[in-house]
Protein backbone atom coordinates (compact mmCIF):
# COMPACT_ATOMS: atom_id res chain seq x y z
CA UNK A 1 0.00 0.00 0.00
CA UNK A 2 1.32 3.44 -0.90
CA UNK A 3 1.43 6.30 1.54
CA UNK A 4 -1.20 8.99 1.18
CA UNK A 5 -1.38 12.62 2.28
CA UNK A 6 -3.21 11.41 5.38
CA UNK A 7 -0.36 9.11 6.43
CA UNK A 8 2.27 10.30 8.91
CA UNK A 9 5.30 8.09 9.51
CA UNK A 10 6.71 8.19 13.04
CA UNK A 11 10.48 8.63 13.01
CA UNK A 12 11.03 8.09 16.74
CA UNK A 13 9.21 7.56 20.04
CA UNK A 14 9.14 11.33 20.62
CA UNK A 15 7.81 11.98 17.12
CA UNK A 16 5.16 9.31 17.67
CA UNK A 17 3.82 11.20 20.71
CA UNK A 18 3.41 14.35 18.65
CA UNK A 19 1.58 12.46 15.93
CA UNK A 20 -0.74 10.56 18.27
CA UNK A 21 -1.89 13.71 20.03
CA UNK A 22 -1.99 16.03 17.02
CA UNK A 23 -5.02 18.34 16.68
CA UNK A 24 -6.30 17.60 20.19
CA UNK A 25 -6.22 21.16 21.58
CA UNK A 26 -9.74 22.52 22.18
CA UNK A 27 -9.50 26.31 22.26
CA UNK A 28 -13.08 26.66 23.51
CA UNK A 29 -12.25 24.75 26.67
CA UNK A 30 -8.61 25.69 26.95
CA UNK A 31 -7.86 21.97 27.34
CA UNK A 32 -6.48 19.08 25.35
CA UNK A 33 -9.66 17.16 24.47
CA UNK A 34 -9.34 14.90 21.47
CA UNK A 35 -12.15 14.79 18.88
CA UNK A 36 -10.63 11.54 17.58
CA UNK A 37 -11.14 7.86 18.21
CA UNK A 38 -8.33 5.45 17.40
CA UNK A 39 -7.91 1.97 15.97
CA UNK A 40 -4.56 0.18 16.03
CA UNK A 41 -3.67 -2.54 13.52
CA UNK A 42 -0.52 -4.66 13.37
CA UNK A 43 -0.03 -4.08 9.62
CA UNK A 44 -0.45 -0.86 7.68
CA UNK A 45 -1.89 -2.95 4.87
CA UNK A 46 -4.97 -3.68 6.97
CA UNK A 47 -8.02 -1.62 6.09
CA UNK A 48 -11.34 -1.03 7.86
CA UNK A 49 -13.30 -4.06 6.70
CA UNK A 50 -15.60 -5.53 9.32
CA UNK A 51 -15.55 -9.14 10.49
CA UNK A 52 -18.89 -9.58 8.71
CA UNK A 53 -17.43 -8.33 5.42
CA UNK A 54 -14.39 -10.58 5.83
CA UNK A 55 -16.78 -13.53 6.09
CA UNK A 56 -17.23 -13.27 2.33
CA UNK A 57 -20.04 -14.60 0.18
CA UNK A 58 -23.42 -12.94 0.55
CA UNK A 59 -22.51 -11.66 4.01
CA UNK A 60 -25.12 -8.91 3.91
CA UNK A 61 -27.88 -11.51 3.76
CA UNK A 62 -26.31 -13.53 6.56
CA UNK A 63 -26.19 -10.73 9.13
CA UNK A 64 -29.78 -11.17 10.31
CA UNK A 65 -29.38 -14.94 10.66
CA UNK A 66 -26.12 -14.61 12.59
CA UNK A 67 -27.65 -12.20 15.09
CA UNK A 68 -30.93 -14.11 15.39
CA UNK A 69 -29.19 -17.36 16.17
CA UNK A 70 -26.68 -15.71 18.49
CA UNK A 71 -29.52 -14.32 20.54
CA UNK A 72 -31.42 -17.61 20.39
CA UNK A 73 -28.57 -19.72 21.73
CA UNK A 74 -26.81 -17.19 23.95
CA UNK A 75 -26.30 -18.20 27.56
CA UNK A 76 -24.89 -16.46 30.61
CA UNK A 77 -25.37 -12.98 29.14
CA UNK A 78 -25.20 -11.34 32.56
CA UNK A 79 -26.69 -7.83 32.59
CA UNK A 80 -28.11 -8.28 29.08
CA UNK A 81 -30.15 -11.37 29.94
CA UNK A 82 -33.44 -9.45 29.94
CA UNK A 83 -32.71 -6.69 27.43
CA UNK A 84 -34.59 -6.35 24.15
CA UNK A 85 -32.23 -3.71 22.74
CA UNK A 86 -30.83 -4.81 19.36
CA UNK A 87 -27.89 -2.45 19.94
CA UNK A 88 -26.91 -4.12 23.22
CA UNK A 89 -27.15 -7.55 21.59
CA UNK A 90 -25.09 -6.36 18.62
CA UNK A 91 -22.39 -5.04 20.97
CA UNK A 92 -22.42 -8.29 22.95
CA UNK A 93 -22.09 -10.35 19.78
CA UNK A 94 -19.14 -8.26 18.55
CA UNK A 95 -17.47 -8.46 21.94
CA UNK A 96 -17.60 -12.26 21.84
CA UNK A 97 -16.34 -12.69 18.29
CA UNK A 98 -19.48 -13.03 16.17
CA UNK A 99 -19.02 -11.55 12.66
CA UNK A 100 -20.84 -8.20 12.74
CA UNK A 101 -20.79 -4.84 10.96
CA UNK A 102 -19.17 -3.21 14.01
CA UNK A 103 -15.52 -2.19 14.27
CA UNK A 104 -13.65 -1.74 17.55
CA UNK A 105 -12.25 1.70 18.41
CA UNK A 106 -10.88 3.33 21.52
CA UNK A 107 -10.70 6.83 22.94
CA UNK A 108 -7.08 6.11 23.97
CA UNK A 109 -4.27 6.44 21.43
CA UNK A 110 -2.10 4.28 23.71
CA UNK A 111 -4.63 1.46 23.71
CA UNK A 112 -4.63 1.66 19.91
CA UNK A 113 -0.83 1.64 19.98
CA UNK A 114 -0.94 -1.53 22.06
CA UNK A 115 -2.99 -3.34 19.41
CA UNK A 116 -0.61 -2.13 16.69
CA UNK A 117 2.33 -3.75 18.52
CA UNK A 118 0.93 -6.74 20.45
CA UNK A 119 1.63 -9.41 17.81
CA UNK A 120 5.31 -10.37 17.73
CA UNK A 121 4.74 -12.32 14.53
CA UNK A 122 4.00 -9.04 12.74
CA UNK A 123 7.17 -7.21 13.79
CA UNK A 124 8.48 -7.41 10.24
CA UNK A 125 5.60 -5.16 9.12
CA UNK A 126 4.81 -1.51 9.69
CA UNK A 127 1.87 -1.01 12.04
CA UNK A 128 -0.88 1.57 11.64
CA UNK A 129 -3.15 3.66 13.81
CA UNK A 130 -6.29 5.15 12.32
CA UNK A 131 -7.52 8.37 13.95
CA UNK A 132 -11.09 9.31 13.00
CA UNK A 133 -12.74 12.59 13.98
CA UNK A 134 -16.00 11.29 15.44
CA UNK A 135 -17.19 14.82 16.26
CA UNK A 136 -17.06 15.96 12.64
CA UNK A 137 -18.32 12.59 11.38
CA UNK A 138 -21.50 13.16 13.40
CA UNK A 139 -22.25 16.21 11.24
CA UNK A 140 -23.04 13.82 8.37
CA UNK A 141 -25.65 11.81 10.26
CA UNK A 142 -29.34 11.91 9.27
CA UNK A 143 -31.27 14.78 10.91
CA UNK A 144 -33.07 12.52 13.39
CA UNK A 145 -29.78 11.15 14.68
CA UNK A 146 -28.13 14.58 14.84
CA UNK A 147 -31.10 15.89 16.83
CA UNK A 148 -30.85 12.99 19.26
CA UNK A 149 -27.18 13.71 19.89
CA UNK A 150 -27.81 17.44 20.24
CA UNK A 151 -30.57 16.88 22.78
CA UNK A 152 -28.18 14.77 24.86
CA UNK A 153 -25.20 17.10 24.34
CA UNK A 154 -23.21 14.13 23.02
CA UNK A 155 -21.26 13.11 19.94
CA UNK A 156 -21.69 9.34 20.33
CA UNK A 157 -24.62 7.05 20.97
CA UNK A 158 -25.49 4.64 23.72
CA UNK A 159 -28.14 1.99 23.12
CA UNK A 160 -30.60 4.01 25.23
CA UNK A 161 -30.02 7.12 23.12
CA UNK A 162 -30.18 5.30 19.78
CA UNK A 163 -33.22 3.07 20.43
CA UNK A 164 -35.93 5.79 20.34
CA UNK A 165 -34.67 6.96 16.93
CA UNK A 166 -33.97 3.55 15.39
CA UNK A 167 -35.00 0.18 16.76
CA UNK A 168 -33.35 -2.07 14.16
CA UNK A 169 -30.54 -2.27 11.61
CA UNK A 170 -33.08 -2.17 8.79
CA UNK A 171 -34.66 0.97 10.18
CA UNK A 172 -31.25 2.58 10.62
CA UNK A 173 -30.40 2.11 6.94
CA UNK A 174 -33.71 3.68 5.95
CA UNK A 175 -32.99 6.94 7.75
CA UNK A 176 -30.85 8.27 4.88
CA UNK A 177 -30.00 7.19 1.34
CA UNK A 178 -26.41 8.42 1.68
CA UNK A 179 -24.22 6.06 3.76
CA UNK A 180 -23.22 7.28 7.20
CA UNK A 181 -21.29 6.11 10.23
CA UNK A 182 -22.21 6.50 13.88
CA UNK A 183 -20.30 5.63 17.02
CA UNK A 184 -21.84 3.48 19.71
CA UNK A 185 -20.62 3.15 23.29
CA UNK A 186 -21.40 -0.36 24.52
CA UNK A 187 -22.63 -1.16 28.01
CA UNK A 188 -19.92 -2.20 30.46
CA UNK A 189 -20.13 -5.87 29.50
CA UNK A 190 -16.94 -6.70 31.40
CA UNK A 191 -13.73 -5.13 32.65
CA UNK A 192 -12.12 -5.42 29.21
CA UNK A 193 -14.60 -2.95 27.69
CA UNK A 194 -13.95 -0.51 30.52
CA UNK A 195 -10.16 -0.83 30.56
CA UNK A 196 -9.83 -0.39 26.81
CA UNK A 197 -11.97 2.79 26.69
CA UNK A 198 -13.84 0.99 23.93
CA UNK A 199 -16.55 2.01 21.50
CA UNK A 200 -17.75 0.75 18.13
CA UNK A 201 -18.26 2.26 14.69
CA UNK A 202 -21.47 1.27 12.94
CA UNK A 203 -22.09 1.84 9.24
CA UNK A 204 -25.67 2.36 8.09
CA UNK A 205 -25.41 -0.62 5.73
CA UNK A 206 -23.64 -3.93 6.24
CA UNK A 207 -22.08 -3.64 2.78
CA UNK A 208 -20.70 -0.11 3.15
CA UNK A 209 -16.95 -0.10 3.83
CA UNK A 210 -15.65 2.51 6.23
CA UNK A 211 -12.27 3.11 4.58
CA UNK A 212 -14.03 3.65 1.24
CA UNK A 213 -16.44 6.08 2.90
CA UNK A 214 -13.48 7.95 4.41
CA UNK A 215 -11.60 8.07 1.11
CA UNK A 216 -13.96 10.79 -0.13
CA UNK A 217 -13.81 12.57 3.25
CA UNK A 218 -10.07 12.93 3.95
CA UNK A 219 -10.73 15.79 6.37
CA UNK A 220 -12.19 13.30 8.85
CA UNK A 221 -9.14 11.15 9.50
CA UNK A 222 -5.40 10.67 9.57
CA UNK A 223 -3.17 7.63 10.00
CA UNK A 224 0.03 7.16 11.99
CA UNK A 225 2.48 4.61 10.60
CA UNK A 226 4.68 2.78 13.13
CA UNK A 227 7.72 1.51 11.21
CA UNK A 228 8.67 -2.11 11.91
CA UNK A 229 12.08 -0.94 13.15
CA UNK A 230 10.38 1.15 15.85
CA UNK A 231 8.00 -1.50 17.17
CA UNK A 232 10.28 -3.03 19.83
CA UNK A 233 11.01 0.35 21.41
CA UNK A 234 7.32 1.24 21.35
CA UNK A 235 6.39 -2.10 22.87
CA UNK A 236 8.94 -1.89 25.69
CA UNK A 237 7.89 1.65 26.60
CA UNK A 238 4.19 0.77 26.53
CA UNK A 239 4.91 -2.12 28.89
CA UNK A 240 6.78 0.19 31.22
CA UNK A 241 3.79 2.56 31.15
CA UNK A 242 1.43 -0.26 32.12
CA UNK A 243 -0.29 -0.61 28.73
CA UNK A 244 -0.26 -4.41 28.63
CA UNK A 245 -2.58 -7.36 28.14
CA UNK A 246 -2.55 -7.88 31.93
CA UNK A 247 -4.24 -4.48 32.33
CA UNK A 248 -6.31 -4.26 29.14
CA UNK A 249 -7.59 -7.84 29.26
CA UNK A 250 -8.14 -8.56 32.97
CA UNK A 251 -8.13 -12.24 33.84
CA UNK A 252 -5.90 -15.24 33.43
CA UNK A 253 -6.02 -15.09 29.64
CA UNK A 254 -4.68 -11.55 29.50
CA UNK A 255 -2.07 -12.33 32.15
CA UNK A 256 -0.84 -15.33 30.15
CA UNK A 257 -0.69 -13.32 26.91
CA UNK A 258 1.33 -10.60 28.60
CA UNK A 259 3.80 -13.04 30.16
CA UNK A 260 4.20 -14.92 26.87
CA UNK A 261 5.06 -11.74 25.01
CA UNK A 262 7.07 -10.16 27.86
CA UNK A 263 9.50 -13.06 28.07
CA UNK A 264 9.78 -13.71 24.34
CA UNK A 265 13.25 -12.91 22.91
CA UNK A 266 13.54 -9.83 20.73
CA UNK A 267 14.42 -10.81 17.16
CA UNK A 268 15.98 -7.50 16.26
**pLDDT score at 80:** 59
For strands 7-9 and 221-226, give the pairing.
parallel
**pLDDT score at 76:** 67
**pLDDT score at 193:** 74
Distance between CA 76 and CA 74 in Å, rounded? 7
Distance between CA 5 and CA 37 in Å, rounded? 19
pTM of the model: 0.93
Per residue in 79-119, pLDDT (tens digit) is: 555 667 889 899 889 988 999 999 999 999 999 999 999 99
**pLDDT score at 74:** 83
**pLDDT score at 267:** 66
**pLDDT score at 130:** 98
Residues of the chain below pLDDT 70: 1-2, 76-83, 189-190, 267-268
Amino acid sequence: MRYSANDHVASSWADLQELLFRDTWDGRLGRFRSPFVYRGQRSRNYLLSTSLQRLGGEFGKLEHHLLRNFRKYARDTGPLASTDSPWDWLALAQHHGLPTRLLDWTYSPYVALHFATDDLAAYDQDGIIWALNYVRAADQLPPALREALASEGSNVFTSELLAPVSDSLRNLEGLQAEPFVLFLEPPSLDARIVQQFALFSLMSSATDVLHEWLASRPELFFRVVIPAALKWEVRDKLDQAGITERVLMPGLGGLSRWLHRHYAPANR
